[in-house]
Copies of this chain bind each other. A is one copy, B any other.
Amino acid sequence: MNYELIDSYPFYVEPFHVDFRGNIFLSILGNHMLNAAGNHSQKRGWGIATLNESQHTWVLSRLSIEMNEMPRQYEHCEVRTWVESVKRYFTKRNFSIHRADGTPLGYARSVWAMIDLETRKPCDLLTLFDGDILNYVTPEDHKEPYSSEGGWKEAVCPIEGHGRFRFRDPEHLRTIDTHYSDVDINGHVNSMKYIEHILDLFPRERFEKQQVRRIEIAYKAESYFGDRLSFYSQPVSNDETDIEVRKQTRSEADGTTSQEQGETPSSPASERNEEVVCQAKVCFKD
In the complex, the answer to whether B15 meets A38 with C-beta atoms within 8 Å is yes
A199 interface contact, C-beta 8 A: yes
Residue from the list B15, B31, B35, B184 in contact with A35, Cβ < 8 A: B15
In the complex, the answer to whether A181 meets B204 with C-beta atoms within 8 Å is no
A25 to chain B: closest residue by CB: B181
Copies of the chain in the assembly: 2
Which residues on the B side are within 8 Å of A186 (C-beta)? 20
Shortest distance between the CB of A231 and any CB in chain B (Å): 12
Residue from the list B18, B34, B73, B184 in contact with A18, Cβ < 8 A: B184
In the complex, the answer to whether B185 meets A199 with C-beta atoms within 8 Å is no
Q: Mark out the residues of chain A between 167 and 203 whose CB falls within 8 Å of any chain B CB in the assembled complex.
A: 179-187, 190, 192, 196, 199-203
Residue from the list B16, B196, B226 in contact with A192, Cβ < 8 A: B16
Complex Cα spacing A18 to B179, Å: 14
User: What class of interface size applies to chain A in its complex with B?
Assistant: 35 or more
Q: Mark out the residues of chain A between 21 and 39 whose CB falls within 8 Å of any chain B CB in the assembled complex.
A: 21-22, 25, 27, 31, 34-35, 38
In the complex, the answer to whether A18 meets B185 with C-beta atoms within 8 Å is yes
Which residues on the B side are within 8 Å of A34 (C-beta)? 15-16
A46 interface contact, C-beta 8 A: no
Given contacts A180-B199, A207-B180, A225-B204, contact A185 B38 (CB under 8 A): no
Complex Cα spacing A21 to B184, Å: 9
Complex Cα spacing A226 to B27, Å: 20
Shortest distance between the CB of A49 and any CB in chain B (Å): 9
In the complex, the answer to whether B180 meets A202 with C-beta atoms within 8 Å is yes
In the complex, the answer to whether A16 meets B207 with C-beta atoms within 8 Å is no
Residue from the list B16, B192, B196, B202 in contact with A184, Cβ < 8 A: B16
Complex Cα spacing A204 to B182, Å: 11
In the complex, the answer to whether A35 meets B14 with C-beta atoms within 8 Å is yes
Given contacts A15-B35, A185-B18, contact A180 B200 (CB under 8 A): yes
Residue from the list B16, B199, B204 in contact with A226, Cβ < 8 A: B204
A19 interface contact, C-beta 8 A: yes
Shortest distance between the CB of A201 and any CB in chain B (Å): 8
Interchain residue pairs with CB less than 8 A apart (16): A15-B184, A18-B185, A19-B180, A19-B183, A19-B185, A20-B185, A20-B187, A20-B225, A27-B181, A73-B185, A179-B199, A179-B201, A180-B207, A181-B196, A203-B226, A204-B225
Which residue numbers of A lie inside 8 Å of B, CB to CB?
Answer: 14-16, 18-22, 25, 27, 31, 34-35, 38, 48, 73, 179-187, 190, 192, 196, 199-204, 207, 225-226
- Further contacts, 14 of them, CB under 8 A, given A15-B48, A16-B184, A180-B207: A15-B34, A15-B38, A15-B184, A18-B184, A19-B180, A19-B184, A20-B184, A20-B185, A20-B187, A27-B181, A179-B200, A180-B202, A180-B204, A181-B196
